[in-house]
Structures are given as C-alpha cells and as structure tokens.
Amino acid sequence: MTENIELLLYAGVFATGLVSTAGYYFARFYLFKDSKESGAANKEKFSAKPKPVTKTKTLTEALTKSKKSLWFRTAESGGEEVKSLDELEEALYMADIGPQTVSFLVDQVKEKITENSNSFDLNEVKDFFRAEMLDLFTPLEGELVYKRALTGSHAGESKAPYVISIVGVNGAGKTTSIGKLAHKFLSEGKKVMVVAGDTFRAAAQEQLGVWADRSKALIFKAPLETKDPGAVAFQAYEKAKKENVDILLIDTAGRLHTQDNLMKELEKVQRVLKKHDTKAPHEVWMVLDSNTGMNAFFQAESFHKTLGLTALILTKLDGSSKAGTILGIRKSLGIPIFMLGLGEGIDDMKIFEPEDFVQSLV
C-alpha cells in the first residue's frame, strides 16, 4: 500500500516536471520569439522618430552646477557640504566670485553670525547670504534696462532709433544674444533692425543674417566696399531712421580688451554715431561668457573704461559652474546685469531678476 502511494507520488512529480518543461519550451519558442520580433520592430519605429529637441533649461536647472560649487567642497576635497567658514571661503574663491567680494561676504558672516556662536550652521549662513547677495543688486535691475530699451527713453529725439551696441570678446555669444533679443523686442511689437559691424569676416555677417531670418528682424547690409565699422554703423542709423525702426542692434567683431587698436575702433563707432544723435549709442551692452571666470571681470572692467558699458549680458549659464562671477562683477563694477543666456535657442534667455537668481543659487 505504502509502495503504491510512493509510486503515485513519483509519477505525479514526474508528470508535473514534464508539463512545466514542455510549457517552458513552448513559451520560449513562441512567446520569446514574438517579443524579440516586436522589440526589433519597436527599435525601428523609435529610430524613425525625429530627434528630441533639447529642452530649454530653467534658471534653477541652469544654476545647479554653480549652486553646488558654492556650498560643496570640490570633489578632490571630498565633495561634501561645507562645514566651516574656512571651507566656505575656499568654495567661494573656487566659484570665481572674486577676492574683493569673497572677503566682503566672509567678513559679514564672521561679524554677524559666527562671532556669537561656536558652531557653523550652513542653513543660517545661507539665509544670511541670500540677503547679502540681494543687496548687491538693484531691485528688478534687468527689467529696468529692458524697459529703458523698449521705451527708448535715452534717445535724443522722439522717433529716433534706440541704438544698442553689443560688444565683447570673441565667441562670447554676441550674435546669438542679438538674435534672442531681436526676437524678444519684436514680440513686444517693436520694429527691430540688426547690423553686422564685423565687416571683414563674411561668416560673421552670414551668421547675423541667419538670426535675422529666425527672429524676422530687418537687417542692414552695407555696400561691399564699406569696410569701416564706423561707416557701416553710420549708414545703418540713416536707414533705420528712414524706416522708422524703434531699436537698432549693432553687432561688433569680437576683440580682446588688450587689443588697443580694436578697442579704439569701437570708440570710433561710438563717435561716428554721435554725429546722428549725440546720445547714441544709447546702450552699450557687453556680452560675457560665464565660463570665463575671473577673466570676465578684467574684460568687463577694461571695456567699461573705454566704452562706458550700460549693462551686462551673461551667456552660457547652462552648463557653467561659474555663475558666482556675476556677484563679483556686479559688486566691483556697479554695472547692472540685464540678461542671462541659458542655451543656444532663440528663447533660451532670461531677463535678469536678482531675487530669482539669488533664490536659485542659494
């Protein structure tokens, strides 16, 4: 009797094994084969899709790296959050805030926080920094510059074009910023004209032409024989006035602040424009690549001395870890920050808002 039960049990186990093995191979042969086929089909369908367009970064996303560089030690030093005033001071230096601004901020922390307490509370320091950083700026300073340009409030006579000269070193993002700005001003119903002051580099003029097409701005093309940037600007002004243009954006060739002859050339462009309107150019905006670090400070200082900058544009903040540079430049030079470049697309820009900037950075 027991033997019979054992036999039945063995038979049962054997039968179950047989059925599940057969089931496994059946499933593997039919189902897995199918899923492989549909996988290949999906792959084909997927690759046939257009490439996704790069997402425009928000200010908070763009400032992630900069924020990390301010409040965390470098990877070589452990990469943890700063835990003492010394570590914070080092992080601020590494973020290229500039020695003058770093010592100002650190002295303030020493005086107002750490003197009365033995421990270093980073959250308390951050709250304090928010207030101190905000103090470096004028409330809504980017917006004020923007409104100035929109209303043409500096122009010598009504109906005269508001002339904005865009300057900076090579590759800082001048032409791209002009494209973005032309688009923005046009969206406000302004009549916008752009002109390439770089008369020697054909590519520079073509590039501005592409941005004029994209933004639907008018473009002034000087006769081929006109090689002097001053003469081009003069003629562009005449044309802009005739066509009732509201805003004339002058692109200029990139140059280093140390290239005296090229800096003099920009001075001459300004002098020539004054023959039309003694207040022109009404704005001189310098474009700075925020990856440049401390060099951006020296460039801005020198351009300001020669040309009298009225505002700064900081480009390539997406991907940069040096947004702290803005604090140093702003404190030392006192020139308002107008616009931030957050990518290569026509909408990848933001009018600078101190509150927003400080909130995203701290």
> Backbone phi, then psi, for 49, in 5-degree steps?
-70, 150
- Would you say the C-alpha torsion 303, 348, 195, 353 has a positive or negative sign? negative
Query: Looking at beta carbons only, is 36 or 201 nearer to ligand GTP?
Result: 201
Q: Of residues 342, 358, 361, 362, which one binds ligand GTP by CB under 6 A? A: 342
d(CA 53, CA 331): 37
Q: Counting contacts by CB under 6 A, is residue 311 touching ligand GTP?
A: no
Binding mask 146-175 for ligand GTP (x = CB under 6 A): ----------------------x-xxxxxx
Q: Quick one: which segment of 17-25, 104-112, 186-194, 314-322 binds ligand GTP (CB under 6 A)?
A: 314-322
Residue 147 vs 201, nearer CB to Mg ion: 201
Six-digit token pair at 38? 């549909």
Min separation Cβ 173 and ligand GTP, Å: 3
Please tell me whether residue 252 binds Mg ion under the rule CB under 5 A: no
Identify whether 223 is preceded by a cis peptide bond (ω within 30 of 0): no
Among 98, 281, 328, 343, binds ligand GTP (CB under 6 A): 343
Asked if 259 touches ligand GTP (CB under 6 A), the answer is no
Q: Which of 316, 322, 331, 350 binds ligand GTP (CB under 6 A)?
A: 316
Contact, 176 vs 211, CB < 8 A? yes
Q: Are 123 and 112 contacting, i.e. CB atoms less than 8 angstroms apart? A: no
Paired tokens of 265:
């050339």
Beta bridge mates, 126? none
Is residue 296 within 8 Å of residue 290, measured between CB atoms? yes
Can you name the residues that pair with 220 across neighbouring β-strands? 195
Regarding 249 and contact with ligand GTP (CB under 6 A), the answer is no
List residues near Mg ion by CB under 5 A. Answer: 174-175
List residues near ligand GTP by CB under 6 A. Answer: 168, 170-176, 204, 254, 287, 315-316, 318-319, 341-344, 348
